[in-house]
């Protein structure tokens, strides 16, 4: 397959998305009031899933069909405007904005389904209709269930809407046979995902910088800066040594792995925000949620590295597991936010040394 580059409109689109995900965290923070319950986490996940489902469908659409036609650009900006409207429907009180949120989500689903149909009609000679049918039908089904949720009284409507969004998110996974016949441009997909992750880290750094005072520099900000830089370096090395040239890939594995990576980065930022603003880290829930999010980030990154790179031998995998287990034990014992982050930084540096020391020595030293 020919190489496909990420367009400027895609970067613009992703920048809007990252900004909106930070609003999801703010909405969740207002829900918690210092107590992070399973219900609030579920609401956070649903908000995240709504935007992620939209992003996944658009990304796969652009990856296979986008060839810089005027109508494609028109839909990019139409969807962008709808997403901005949807972000305004995010509120800590779900029921107060439930109806506009559902209606805008439905419009986005139908817009993307229309784009799949339109692009197929204009590219019949390149694609089989069986490739687009799962995407179109799942979006239409999710739209119908979403509309149905508007007629349900009480909090059950949120659960029905969550079912609709979940259907939209996972249905493509059940049609891998057709996806393999029309593989994605893997270099484009991996670059798009990596840029999204980098934008997330950038958003985190901007948040930290917004609270720094040059007259009374709190050491915790230095530690947080070092942590985000360490997370960024580890991710960058993972991306650099991912094998991108192999053909016939559906891209589903790295796509969904990255969605969970993004989610756990998002959760880490949620906890950091609560600690910086309200000093809630002493809460049992925040403590172990932070450890879980960090651990899952490492595990998912290593899983993606193992799947797409030969850099991880079985001995290195075992060493990584040992390092992660030690990190979990130490951070569980400690009750200081600063000390836990120091443990996280040392864990990342150790993993980088185990996995990439030869590469770094060869290329950078």
For position 30, what pLDDT does the model report?
52
Supply the pTM of this predicted model. Answer: 0.86
Residues in the chain: 365
pLDDT average, residue stretch 69-78: 89
258: closest CA among 190, 324, 326? 190
For position 353, what pLDDT does the model report?
92
pLDDT digit string (tens) for 232-286? 999 999 888 877 666 567 778 888 899 899 889 988 888 887 777 666 555 557 7
List C-alpha distances in Å: 198 to 55, 98, 287, 341.
Answer: 16, 31, 25, 20
Q: Which of 17-26, 31-40, 95-104 has the highest mean pLDDT?
A: 95-104
Cα 131 to Cα 176: distance, rounded to the nearest angstrom: 9
Cα 120 to Cα 31: distance, rounded to the nearest angstrom: 43
pLDDT average, residue stretch 188-215: 81
% of the chain beyond a pLDDT of 70: 87
Mean pLDDT taken over the chain: 83
Q: What is the DSSP string of 281-343?
A: TTSHHHHHHHHHHHHHHHHHHHHHHHHH-S---HHHHHHHHHHHHHHHHHHHH---HHHHHHH
The answer on pLDDT for 86 being more than 80 is yes
The answer on pLDDT for 180 being more than 90 is no
């Amino acid at each position: 397959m020919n190489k496909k580059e990420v367009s400027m409109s895609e970067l613009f689109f992703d920048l809007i998305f990252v900004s909106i995900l930070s609003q999801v965290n703010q909405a969740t923070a207002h829900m918690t009031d210092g107590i992070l319950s399973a219900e609030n986490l579920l609401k956070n996940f649903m908000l995240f899933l709504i935007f992620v489902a939209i992003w996944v469908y658009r990304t796969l659409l652009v990856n296979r069909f986008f060839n810089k036609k005027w109508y494609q650009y028109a839909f990019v900006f139409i969807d962008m405007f709808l997403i901005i409207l949807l972000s305004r429907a995010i509120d800590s009180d779900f029921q107060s904005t439930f109806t506009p949120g559902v209606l805008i989500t439905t419009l986005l689903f139908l817009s993307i389904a229309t784009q799949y149909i339109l692009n197929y009609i204009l590219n019949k000679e390149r694609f089989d209709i069986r490739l687009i049918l799962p995407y179109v039908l799942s979006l239409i089904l999710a739209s119908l269930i979403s509309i149905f949720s508007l007629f349900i009284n009480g909090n059950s409507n949120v659960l029905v809407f969550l079912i609709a969004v979940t259907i939209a998110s996972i249905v493509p996974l059940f049609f891998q046979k057709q996806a393999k016949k029309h593989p994605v441009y893997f270099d484009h997909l991996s670059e798009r995902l990596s840029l999204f992750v980098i934008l997330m880290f950038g958003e985190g750094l901007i948040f930290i910088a917004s609270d720094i005072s040059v007259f009374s520099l709190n050491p915790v900000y230095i530690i947080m800066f070092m942590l985000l830089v360490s997370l960024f370096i580890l991710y960058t090395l993972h991306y650099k040594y991912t094998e991108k040239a192999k053909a016939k890939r559906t891209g589903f594995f790295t796509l969904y792995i990255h969605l969970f990576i993004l989610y756990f980065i998002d959760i880490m930022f949620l906890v950091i925000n609560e600690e910086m603003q309200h000093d809630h880290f002493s809460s049992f829930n925040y403590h172990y949620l932070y450890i879980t999010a960090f651990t899952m980030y490492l595990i998912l990154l290593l899983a993606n590295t193992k799947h797409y790179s030969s850099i991880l031998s079985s001995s290195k995998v075992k060493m990584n597991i040992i390092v992660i287990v030690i990190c979990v034990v130490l951070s569980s014992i400690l009750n200081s936010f600063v000390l836990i982050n120091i443990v996280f930084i040392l864990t990342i540096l150790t993993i980088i040394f185990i996995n990439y020391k030869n590469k770094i020595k060869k290329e950078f030293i």
